[in-house]
Structures are given as C-alpha cells and as structure tokens.
Amino acid sequence: MFNGNFLGRGWTFPPTFLKDKGSIEMVSDVNDIVQSMKIILSTRKGERLTNPHFGCAMHDYLFEPINEVTKNMISDAIQNALIEYEPRIIVEDIKLDFAEQLEGIVNVELDYVVRKINTRHNVVFPFYKIEGTLVDEV
C-alpha cells in the first residue's frame, strides 16, 4: 500500500461517519481515485450550484438512440470530464457495454494508468437511466 498523501486521501463516498471514533471514514491511494472518478461520472454538469461546470456531460445523451454517433459522444464526454477533473490518471480506453440497455443500464469500463506510480487499472461504472426506483412491475 502506498502512502495516502502520495495519491490523495479524502472522505469515502458516500460519506460514512464513524460514531464510535467520532470521525469520518477516509479513503486513500487508488481507491480515492476510483471514488473520485465515480463522483465525476455520476454528477451532471450544472448539478453543483457552486461549480456548475463540474461533472460529466454523458447524461445529455441519456435518451438518444443507441448508435455509433451517440457512443462516440458518450465516450468523448467521459474522456473530457476525466481529463479536466481527475489529473492523477491517463485514460487509455473507454468501452461502453449496451448489453443491458433495455434494463436502463450502460456499463462503462475504463482502462487507465495512475500517473505517479505508472500502474494500470480498470473500473466498471454502471450508468443507470433510472436510478433509485422501487417501482413495482405491473
């Protein structure tokens, strides 16, 4: 494990409060980077009032037809957001998996290199069209 100051250290997401210790759970190293990427990708541009440019524009293509143009636009939105807001990584590849599109899920697989330690990693980010619903099927 690397020194947390080397790659960063921050609150877990979602924030977790440790009642017995009177503190907040922290995350560091590559886990901090992964959580940062998930926050960037799950935040719509304009969602944060104090920083309206923060986030990823892939949400703009939520109801567009699934074709090569849309896939390229989503990939570009992801690439641009990570370049701008996560300087600790170099994105090597973005794969979009539309196999579960009828269930409202697009899986985004990111292959990336952590700059400071030159190690390769990947993460799968599920992008949901409908989040947090408990609607019963009819």
Question: Which CATH number belongs to the domain containing residue 49 in this structure?
Answer: 3.10.450.40
For the chain, list residues with pLDDT below 70.
1-7, 129-138
Please report which helix (H) or strand (E) contains residue 109, including its range. strand 105-114
pLDDT of 63 reads 83
Please report which helix (H) or strand (E) contains residue 97, including its range. strand 89-97
pTM given for the model: 0.80
Angle, in degrees to the nearest 10, between helices 68-85 and 29-42: 130
pLDDT of 138 reads 41
**Count of domains forming the chain:** 1
Q: Six-digit token pair at 31?
A: 């886990």
Range of the domain at 33: 4-128
| 99 assigned to some structural domain | yes
- Residue 86 backbone zone (phi > 0: left; psi -120 to 50: alpha; other: beta): beta
pLDDT of 82 reads 97
